């Protein structure tokens, strides 16, 4: 599993949109949750690993990602072994009256995350989730939450909305697990997550990720007139900084044709190699558009790769 934490607003776009935002972000069709398409992450990993290997035609790059274009090389064209899934939302930051902002999620998001952990055989340590479904306007917080108001009747205020809160030992356990296994930071930010995690009702969470993203207005200046160029005024949607996503990553056995008598490299070994080469370049990536204005810088964390039961395929 690759965990992706946005350090600056991120615009993974879909071209033009039909709403008031001209350049919206990528979203799942059926849930409207923000996401990043796997092809974007895979392309960035290929560029990063190619730089580490010194060439896009290096054998390790071809084994992981396949041929980029048709060539006249003696190698036959083949697919790569690395399989990169779409990045899904896990935690979304929302402005809070107390504690500056809260890391919000929902039971629907956490159950989907648990399902994805089962695929990569890492669900054994994930805490039990609350069994009661929340109603709109209700929220669960950690036992030592710093985002609720003080007093005999604590309240939670996110943006301009008030929520009825309950402290939950299970939410505390989830916050500790995410801080230890998913967050690419320790120290202050890990403690922030432990004290600021909020589990919302599914509909409330969906509304926040729909309507509380960053929308930025941009212009282009005519260099001679020093005014806005005609038609050069547009709006862009961004995932805010401090969003946490995750992308399951797998690897098959090597698909590159090999010499007679040789054995193809196993998926787990290829996945370990991809992870090592990526980490050698450092924990930071740039995803999405607007790189030259500082958008899309993220910090990533890889979970240890494991083999699938009865298969040589590797999954992190």
Report, in angstroms and rounded to the nearest whole number, the Rg of the chain calculated over CA atoms.
Answer: 22
What mean pLDDT do residues 284-300 have? 94
Q: Higher pLDDT residue, 19 or 31?
A: 31
CA distances from 74 to 77, 138, 256 (A): 9, 63, 12
* Residue of 261 and 94 predicted with greater confidence: 94
pLDDT tens digit sequence for 74-94:
556 778 889 999 999 999 999
- Count of residues for the chain? 316
For 59-64, what is the mean pLDDT? 86
How far apart are alpha carbons 228 and 220 in whole angstroms? 6
For the ranges 19-23, 59-63, 199-203, 208-212, the lowest mean pLDDT is seen at 19-23
Give the pLDDT mean for 284-295: 92
Rounded to 5°, angle at Cα 311 from 258 and 307: 100
Q: For 39-53, 132-146, 205-219, 299-313, which range has the lowest pLDDT when averaged over its residues? A: 299-313
Rounded to the nearest integer, the mean pLDDT of the chain is 89
How confident is residue 302, by pLDDT bands cut at 50, 70 and 90?
very high
- Please determine, for residue 6, whether its predicted confidence score (pLDDT) is greater than 80: yes
Residue 182 has pLDDT above 60, yes or no: yes
CA distances from 18 to 21, 23, 230 (A): 8, 9, 21
Print the SS3 string covering the chain.
CEEEEECCCECCECCCCCCCCCECECECCCCCCEEECHHHHHHHHHHHHHHHHCCCCCHHHHHHHECCCCCCCCCCCCECCEEECCEEEEEEEEEECCCCEEEEEEHHHHHHHHHHHHHCCCCCCCCCCCCCCCCCCEEEECCCCCCECCCCCCCEEECCEEEEEEECHHHHHHHHHHHHHCCCCCCHHHHHHHHHEEEECHHHHHHHHHHCCEEEEEEEECCCCCCEEEEEEEEEEEECCCCEEEECEEECCCCCCCCCCCCCCCHHHHHHHHHHHHHHCCCEEECCCCHHHCCCEEEEEECCCEECCCCCCEEC
Q: Is the pLDDT of residue 308 over 70?
A: no
Residue 145's pLDDT is 95
pLDDT tens, position by position, 185-242 = 989 999 999 999 999 999 999 999 999 999 998 888 888 887 888 778 888 999 999 9
- Residue 94 near residue 102 (C-beta atoms within 8 A): yes
Q: Which residue has the tokens 């005519």?
A: 222
pLDDT score for 310: 47
* Cβ proximity of 241 and 9 under 8 Å: yes
**174 contacts: CB under 8 Å, gap ≥ 6:** 110, 126, 127, 129, 197, 199
Predicted local distance difference test score (pLDDT) of residue 73 = 53
């Amino acid at each position: 599993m690759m965990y992706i934490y946005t350090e600056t607003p991120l615009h993974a776009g879909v071209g033009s949109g039909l709403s008031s935002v001209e350049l919206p972000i990528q979203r799942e069709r059926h849930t409207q949750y923000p996401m990043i398409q796997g092809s974007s992450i895979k392309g960035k990993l290929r560029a990063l690993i190619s730089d580490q290997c010194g060439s896009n035609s290096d054998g390790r790059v071809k084994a992981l990602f396949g041929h980029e274009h048709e060539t006249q090389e003696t190698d036959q064209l083949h697919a790569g072994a690395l399989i990169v899934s779409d990045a899904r939302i896990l935690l979304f930051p929302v402005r809070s009256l107390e504690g500056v902002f809260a890391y919000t999620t929902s039971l629907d998001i956490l159950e989907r995350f648990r399902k994805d952990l089962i695929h990569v055989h890492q669900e054994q340590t994930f805490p039990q989730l609350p069994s009661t479904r929340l109603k709109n306007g209700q929220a669960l917080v950690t036992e030592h939450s710093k985002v609720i108001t003080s007093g005999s009747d604590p309240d939670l205020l996110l943006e301009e909305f008030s929520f009825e809160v309950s402290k939950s030992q299970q939410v505390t356990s989830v916050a500790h697990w995410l801080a230890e296994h998913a967050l690419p930071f320790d120290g202050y930010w890990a403690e922030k997550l432990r004290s600021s995690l909020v589990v919302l009702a599914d509909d409330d969470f969906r509304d926040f990720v729909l309507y509380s993203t960053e929308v930025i207005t941009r212009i282009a200046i005519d260099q001679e007139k020093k005014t806005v160029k005609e038609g050069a005024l547009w709006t862009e949607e961004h995932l805010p900084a401090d969003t946490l996503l995750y992308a399951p990553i797998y690897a098959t056995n090597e698909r590159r044709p090999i010499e007679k008598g040789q054995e193809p490299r196993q998926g787990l070994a290829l996945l370990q190699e991809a992870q090592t080469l990526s980490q050698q370049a450092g924990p930071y990536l740039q995803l999405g558009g607007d790189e030259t204005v500082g958008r899309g810088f993220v910090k990533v964390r890889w979970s240890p790769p494991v083999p699938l039961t009865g298969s040589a395929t590797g999954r992190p």
